[in-house]
């Protein structure tokens, strides 16, 4: 992981995530009373509403690291707060390359576009929803069919590639969005709060929606809805 140049915004961004979580809970209570299904959109793509979120993304060290690893001419198109506390279950294996360019087929092994930043707003350790990832999964791995975006288990042939990501408050990491990762259920310790931000190369078209799993035989279909207007230049 890398260190933020300025950690003074971490607590303010953390507070935004906590309040959005509380708002989501309240909205779901109202939806339940109305006989409607719960929804989970409250914590997603709020970066255009909160200046502290944009300022955090444009931290000097963040811009420097992203430029070094992924180049320039990028824009931020998505964000999601991740809060793990008692009772929160597993987020199964998945990658974050939800679309390619408009409705083009996702190209998992093109490393020239689609990147992610993960900010640790609190410490990220082993007990509060441990984050695991498959090393090298942004590139082809012989014998592994990567058609599905969400899978309950990864094949045994990549078990020796599974690593654990730990971070301290005020740190961040960057990665190709097609890296397979998951977070385990909350087990113990203090609640964990992080912020994931999605980047794409300028000129990339954001679709209004895209299947969660492009493989029609996938167990998890669903639709991922995007907000094409919630973008700003990563300069």
Q: What is the pLDDT of residue 215?
A: 46
CA distance 180 to 192: 20
Q: What is the pLDDT of residue 217?
A: 41
Residue 109 half-sphere exposure, CB side, CA atoms within 13 Å? 9
Q: What is the pLDDT of residue 223?
A: 46
Q: Is residue 17 helix, strand or coil?
A: helix
Query: What structural domains does the chain harbor?
Result: 2-233 (2.60.120.620)
Question: Which ranges of 34-163 does DSSP label H, i.e. alpha helix?
Answer: 51-57, 60-70
| pTM (2 d.p.) | 0.90
Q: What is the pLDDT of residue 233?
A: 86
**pLDDT tens for each residue of the chain, 235 residues long:** 999 999 999 999 999 999 999 998 899 899 889 998 887 777 888 888 899 999 999 999 999 999 999 999 999 999 999 999 998 999 999 999 988 998 898 999 999 999 999 999 999 999 999 999 999 999 999 999 887 889 999 999 999 999 999 999 999 999 999 999 999 999 999 999 999 999 999 999 988 765 555 444 444 444 455 665 568 887 7
Read off φ and ψ for residue 226, nearest 5 degrees.
-110, 170
């Amino acid at each position: 992981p890398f260190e933020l140049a300025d950690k003074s915004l971490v607590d303010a961004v953390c507070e935004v995530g906590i309040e959005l979580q509380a708002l989501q809970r309240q909205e779901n209570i109202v939806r339940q009373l109305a006989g409607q299904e719960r929804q989970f959109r409250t914590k997603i793509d709020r970066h255009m509403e909160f200046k502290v979120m944009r300022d955090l993304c444009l931290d000097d060290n963040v811009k420097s690291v992203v430029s070094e690893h992924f180049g320039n001419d990028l824009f931020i198109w998505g964000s999601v707060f991740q809060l793990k506390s008692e009772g929160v279950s597993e987020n199964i294996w998945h990658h974050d390359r939800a679309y390619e360019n408009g409705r083009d087929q996702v190209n998992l092994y093109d490393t020239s576009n689609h990147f992610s930043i993960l900010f640790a707003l609190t410490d990220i350790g082993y007990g509060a929803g441990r984050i695991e990832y498959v090393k090298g999964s942004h590139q082809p791995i012989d014998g592994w069919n990567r058609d599905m975006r969400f899978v309950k288990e990864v094949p045994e042939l990549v078990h020796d590639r599974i690593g654990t990501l730990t971070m301290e408050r005020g740190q961040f990491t960057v990665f190709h969005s097609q890296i397979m990762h998951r977070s385990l259920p909350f087990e113990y310790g203090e609640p964990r709060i992080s912020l994931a931000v999605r980047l794409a190369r300028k000129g990339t078209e954001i679709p209004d929606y895209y299947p969660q799993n492009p493989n029609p035989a996938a167990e998890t279909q669903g639709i991922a809805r995007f907000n094409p207007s919630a973008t700003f230049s990563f300069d």
